[in-house]
A = this chain, B = another copy of it.
Amino acid sequence: MRAEIVGVGTEILLGQICNNNAQWISERLAEIGWDVLFHQAVGDNVQRIADAFRLALSRADAVIATGGLGPTQDDITREGLAAALGVGLVRQPAIERFLREKFASMGRSMPGSNLQQADVPEGGRHILPQRGTAPGLICQTPEGTRVYVVPGVPSEMREMVGGTILPELAELGGPSALVSRVLRVTGVAEAKVAEILDDLFRASTNPTVAYLASSGEVKVRLTAKASSGGEADDLIRPVAEEVARRLGAHVFTTNDEELEAVVGRWLKARRLSVATAESLTGGSLGVRLSRAPGSSAYFKGSAVCYTADAKQAVLGVSKETIEGPGVVSEECAREMASGARRIFGADLAVALTGVAGPDEHDGKPVGTICVALRGEGAEESRSFRAPGDREMVRRWAEQAGLDLLRRHLEGSAEPVELGPATENLTA
């Protein structure tokens, strides 16, 4: 079955935003075995939107359009679609009621312009949103081609594509599946991963492998095609197991989880709580640990101490450490971890200090990262130098903190190469 994706919005054609929605939807459609033959992007112009819909409807079995469903006068995808289908717009009392209730629940009166969001092309259905106020649209041509319109805001788009559209298309598409499985790895470089796995994939076309590296982690994506999801899984499983065996404790998930989610799962299972002490990351390690719903079961808090004074006053780092090895040292990281464990009353604490840049600090070069962990009878610390700009160094530091925590929780005894440089900077 053939799908086409239409992005609506002048901001795409002006290059002010990238049409990432088309990528995300394409990936999801591939997973359920639908072929995407074309993408289009078109601006906020009723005539051209209608042209884009007509063309897509002439050559696809289903069309998914994003954007132009908001409450302002430049939101005209409804009108464009109605024109392409040769029908009028009909106001839906159910949507109107939904909008009025949504606004009332937020204690606001609804601006009159929001009412246009209650219009649906004649004969069409709608999808009520959980996020936002823009309903999605579902229409069908006399020939049976489906057309879906969802908001351009990524979170609202994903909710409707994932919740409503993919299940409908999967049913229409019949038995065909493209399945991907993602293993994620820390503590080892992309080229090394590729080298370790090279012979496994040199001759393999099903599953295929792709590597994707980012700061402090490598994704290994295995993709198989078969007549069902189960069969595709069967093709992937033995290969995924071999990949996991070869990469050992470097693999933190075989199921595309974020590192903080893996750590959260371990903390819950072992009924342990955690706190952080941070400097160069500005608090982003705590943000990641607290991101998951239910994280209050294990996350106690974090103390972000950007200055030497705050490290002393809040975390109790000693004057000797600050004047001796300095604020960018494993000693300082260890004292920060001890301090965070004490003030938050946590079972475990992780501390990060270092130099995010752009300038060196306390005589240490940009990219220097010191990480420490403190628990009941446990104390570990390491340091390394990360590559890249300020954002990348901060990301490397987060990964190092989370991974130290993960390996401690897993009881993994394997030697760990934390980052690209292995020199011990404070030794």
Interface residues of A (CB under 8 A from B): 7, 10-20, 22-30, 35-44, 48, 52, 55, 70-74, 102, 106-108, 110-111, 113-114, 130-132, 153, 155, 178, 180, 189-192, 194-195, 198, 201-202, 209-214, 221, 223, 278, 281-284, 286-287, 289-291, 293, 295-296, 299-307, 309-310, 313-314, 343-345, 357-358, 385, 387-392, 420-423
Contact = CB atoms under 8 A, between A and B. Distances in A.
Contacts of A198: 73
A246 to B, nearest CB: 16
A388 B131 contact: yes
Given A7-B39, A420-B107, A357 B293 contact: yes
Contacts of A201: 73
Given A19-B19, A282-B291, A307-B301, A191 B71 contact: yes
Contacts of A48: 37-38
A37 B47 CA distance: 12
Contacts of A23: 12, 15, 17-19
Nearest to A256: B16
A329 to B, nearest CB: 18
A contacts with B: majority SS: mixed
Contact of A390 (B43, B210, B293, B391): B293
Contact of A106 (B22, B28, B111, B421): B421
Which 6 A-B residue pairs are closest in the complex by CB-CB distance? A15-B27, A283-B283, A282-B290, A15-B26, A39-B41, A111-B191
A22 B25 contact: no
Contacts of A114: 191
A396 to B, nearest CB: 11
A354 to B, nearest CB: 13
A195 B111 contact: yes
| Copies of this chain present | 2
A247 to B, nearest CB: 15
Contacts of A28: 15
28 contacts: A11-B210, A14-B27, A14-B30, A14-B223, A15-B22, A15-B36, A16-B27, A18-B19, A22-B41, A38-B48, A55-B55, A71-B194, A73-B202, A106-B421, A107-B385, A111-B189, A111-B194, A111-B195, A131-B388, A132-B387, A282-B283, A283-B287, A290-B304, A299-B306, A300-B306, A301-B303, A309-B345, A314-B343
A302 B222 CA distance: 41
A344 B308 CA distance: 11
A161 to B, nearest CB: 12
Given A13-B36, A15-B30, A108-B421, 10 more contacts: A7-B39, A13-B37, A38-B42, A107-B420, A108-B420, A283-B283, A283-B287, A284-B284, A302-B303, A303-B304
Nearest to A30: B14
Nearest to A390: B293
Given A155-B392, A303-B303, A307-B300, A387 B287 contact: no
B191 A221 contact: no
A28 B299 CA distance: 42
A19 to B, nearest CB: 7
A414 to B, nearest CB: 19
A13 B26 contact: yes
Nearest to A361: B296
Given A301-B305, A345-B309, A421-B108, A190 B70 contact: yes
A52 to B, nearest CB: 7
A271 B62 CA distance: 58
A20 B73 CA distance: 28
Contact of A189 (B52, B108, B421): B108
B291 A286 contact: no
Nearest to A298: B306
Given A283-B283, A283-B286, A15 B24 contact: yes
A16 B287 contact: no
Contacts of A10: 210
A131 B192 CA distance: 19
